[in-house]
Amino acid sequence: MRLKELVRFLDEYLKIKEIEDNSLNGMQIEGKSDVQTVALATDACSETFIKAASLRADMLIVHHGIFWGKQYPITGIHAERFRTLLTNGITLYAAHLPLDLHPEVGNNVELVRLTGFTPTEPFGKYHGVVIGYKGISKKAVRYETIINTIRRKLNTETIGYTFGKDRITSLAVVSGDGASMLEQVTDTDIDLFITGENDHISYHIARELKVNIIYAGHYATETLGVKSLSRVLKKEHSLNTLFIDVPTGM
């Protein structure tokens, strides 16, 4: 597939130009003009780039790219990163908030589905952009069942606190570093808030709001979007796709 056609599809499918973000979303580094194999990963880093090169990927799609709101000199580790991509002709494409909030392949809607709940509507504003998702279950589900499901399916260590009801019928999800958005469950029917990174202050907020909370890891909760996007690229464009797993334990 021609690189320009694939980039155009991704830009439109993920609504790259419509979503304000500190990340430079879209194509960050241009590689080969033809794409047959697409690698997908959570983070742009040397380990990911080296693995993509060893797998002979023509494009690498990541959630966390390398450009974040300001310019910096391409020296040191940045030069090494660029060199790996350019030497191997690998295109780097990033989708941060667009991949968090996407209603079909987004991190948050996929995390709702992973719990067995039904996605209902977007939830949670981040700098004016609604990036999370809500979910419901007609049958109440025990808190322990949900946290164990997350541990098993994401293969992640979790921290959780039960300050609310043991039987859950509604939840909200904001992947990654979403704990600062916990207070937005105020005056809602949400029984459980799920995010990635643990946050000291959110403990007290959850306790005072009497809402349950699960921290499932920044990395683990943000592997879902790229994996889901991989399936779309394989089905819609018959591309060879592969997921590069470089867990941080965070």
For residues 137 and 26, state if they share a domain.
no
Last residue within a domain, chosen from 62, 95, 128: 95
**pLDDT (tens digit, 9 = 90+) per residue, 53-90?**
999 999 999 999 999 988 888 999 999 999 999 999 99
CATH number, residue 24: 3.40.1390.30
Flag whether 239 is in a domain: no
- Please state, in angstroms and rounded to a whole number, the distance separating the CA atoms of residues 181 and 207: 15
- Please state, in angstroms and rounded to a whole number, the distance separating the CA atoms of residues 71 and 54: 29
- Please state, in angstroms and rounded to a whole number, the distance separating the CA atoms of residues 78 and 62: 16
For residues 114 and 215, state if they share a domain.
yes
For residues 177 and 123, state if they share a domain.
yes
Q: What is the pLDDT of residue 70?
A: 84
Q: What is the pLDDT of residue 8?
A: 98
Flag whether 168 is in a domain: yes
Last residue within a domain, chosen from 48, 79, 95: 95
User: What is the reported pTM?
Assistant: 0.97
- Position 197: which residue type? E
Flag whether 81 is in a domain: yes
Q: Spell out the per-residue pLDDT of the chain, length 250, in tens.
A: 999 999 999 999 999 999 999 999 999 999 999 999 999 999 999 999 999 999 999 999 999 999 998 888 899 999 999 999 999 999 999 999 999 999 999 999 999 999 999 999 999 999 999 999 999 999 999 999 999 999 999 999 999 999 999 999 999 999 999 999 999 999 999 999 999 999 999 999 999 999 999 999 999 999 999 999 999 999 999 999 999 999 999 9
For residues 83 and 105, state if they share a domain.
no
Domain count, the chain: 2
**What range defines the domain where residue 61 resides?**
3-95
Q: What is the pLDDT of residue 72?
A: 85
Helix H or strand E segment including 91: strand 91-94
For residues 76 and 91, state if they share a domain.
yes
Q: What is the pLDDT of residue 68?
A: 94
Flag whether 240 is in a domain: no
Burial class (CB in 10 A: 0-12, 13-18, 19+), 235: exposed
For residues 159 and 49, state if they share a domain.
no
For residues 41 and 104, state if they share a domain.
no
For residues 216 and 127, state if they share a domain.
yes
